[in-house]
Amino acid sequence: MTKLSMNDIMPIEEYGQKRNEIRQKLRPFKNARRIAVGPYATVMFEHYDTIWHQVHEMLYVEKGGAEQIAGELEAYNPLMPTSSSITFTLMFEINNPVKRLEFLKSISQVDSHIYLNWGENSLQAHPIDELERTRDDGKTSAVHFLRFDFEVGSKQSFLSYGGDVLFAVRHENYFYVTALSKNLVESLKEGLSGHH
């Protein structure tokens, strides 16, 4: 999948005029790529279109002009899936700030306990950036940027597999498994095959 470049950025005035229309058009696509894992976690499987939209939203909201574009591309391009990786954003949402802090402390190092399972296969997720997402006091971040990296063998196995594909968080204090919809699995397979 291609990276975003300056040429892909729509003039922000134009984006502002078309923003509602773009958001409406993307909503069903984004919803189809979003899954709930347990009561507090949401996973968004990234795609060229989701990242394109996020970059434009940042530029629209922050109005940083041309100087901001390079920074946003640098920040978001690593989230672009490739023909050998599936990328995703994992978010933990709890409205109550006291409970949120308590919960995030209880799932320290959660990003080391995330797996994609199909048949007998299990692929562990890795952080996209090298930032330490767990503080010294054990509190982890509410947002994690992760990827599943496929080698040739695991990629072929995944592409040819027709059964249930599971997304699992296997942390001792947050242990949940969600089956991906057939449509989402097909979309992820298309990404690995180089189509988007």
| 92 CA to centre of own chain | 13
Predicted confidence at residue 137, as pLDDT, reads 73
What are the structure tokens assigned to 160, written together?
A: 């040819």
AA letter at 144: H
Mean pLDDT over residues 152-174, rounded?
A: 97
pLDDT in tens, 68-114: 899 999 989 999 999 999 999 999 999 999 999 999 999 999 999 99
pLDDT over 70 (residue 46): yes
**Which band of pLDDT confidence, cut at 50, 70 and 90, is reported for residue 134?**
low
Mean pLDDT over residues 54-60, rounded?
A: 94
Residue whose C-alpha is closest to residue 60's, from 108, 14, 29: 14
**Which band of pLDDT confidence, cut at 50, 70 and 90, is reported for residue 42?**
very high
**Which band of pLDDT confidence, cut at 50, 70 and 90, is reported for residue 64?**
confident
User: Are the C-beta atoms of residues 44 and 86 closer than 8 Å to each other?
Assistant: no
Residues constituting the chain? 196
